[in-house]
């Protein structure tokens, strides 16, 4: 089934706030995300929760989309990450869970075809900026919820395989460096 993003979700920008070094509510920036679009580089960036920014607090099944900047990507919020408010760099896409899973929508928005379309929409000035009205008009192909679950689980397995492969490569490079150092040091002793 084909739906417009604006028909299956409410869309708003994140909060513009000044982060602090400590707190309970994490304040996300694009720099907190790794190459797999996971917030694995999170550093001390917090905001106090108040009446002004409470509406920006992410809820289960929410997706954020970097709508401004050089990297356009989506991430599905999981409440195990803790309380989060995304910066104004991001769109908050509050999905209707009966129609679309946040995890599926994030993967869909990160797909090559949609990424290309998003970059075209945001093209223009020096820094990419995706207009909300055009974002709402993005077509989303929606399989059944059961199929969405299977797709997300499959992609999660592929992501885990990539992470393990990357970790293995790092360890092999370290092993190589150690072996070369040992060989070179032993060679000096022999000479």
pLDDT in tens, 159-182: 899 889 999 999 999 999 999 998
Using only the alpha carbons of the chain, give its radius of gyration: 21
Range with the poorest average pLDDT among 29-38, 89-98, 112-121: 29-38
CATH assignment of 2-142?
3.90.220.20
pTM for this model (two decimals): 0.83
Reported as a single tens digit per residue, the pLDDT across 54-97 is 999 999 999 999 988 888 999 999 988 999 999 999 999 999 88
- Please identify which residue in the block is written with the tokens 């417009």: 4
**Average pLDDT value for residue range 106-117:** 94
What six digits make up the tokens of 112?
């090559």
Compute the distance between CA of residue 177 and CA of residue 30 in angstroms, rounded to an integer: 32
- The domain locations on the chain are 2-142, 143-191
């Amino acid at each position: 089934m084909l739906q417009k993003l604006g028909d299956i979700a409410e869309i708003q920008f994140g909060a513009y706030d000044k982060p602090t070094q400590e707190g309970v509510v994490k304040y996300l920036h694009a720099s907190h995300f790794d190459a797999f679009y996971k917030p694995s580089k999170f550093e001390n960036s917090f905001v106090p929760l108040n009446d002004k920014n409470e509406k920006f607090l992410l809820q289960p099944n929410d997706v954020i989309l970097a709508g401004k900047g050089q990297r356009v990507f989506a991430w599905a919020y999981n409440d195990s990450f803790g309380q989060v408010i995304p910066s104004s760099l991001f769109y908050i896409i509050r999905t209707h869970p009966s129609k679309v899973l946040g995890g599926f929508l994030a993967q869909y928005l990160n797909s090559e075809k949609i990424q290309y379309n998003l970059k075209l929409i945001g093209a223009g000035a020096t820094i990419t900026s995706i207009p909300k009205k055009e974002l709402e008009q993005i077509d989303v192909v929606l399989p059944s919820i059961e199929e969405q679950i299977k797709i997300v689980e499959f992609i999660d397995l592929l992501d885990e395989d990539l992470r393990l492969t990357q970790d293995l490569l790092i360890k092999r490079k370290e092993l190589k460096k150690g072996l070369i150092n040992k060989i070179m040091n032993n060679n000096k002793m022999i000479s």
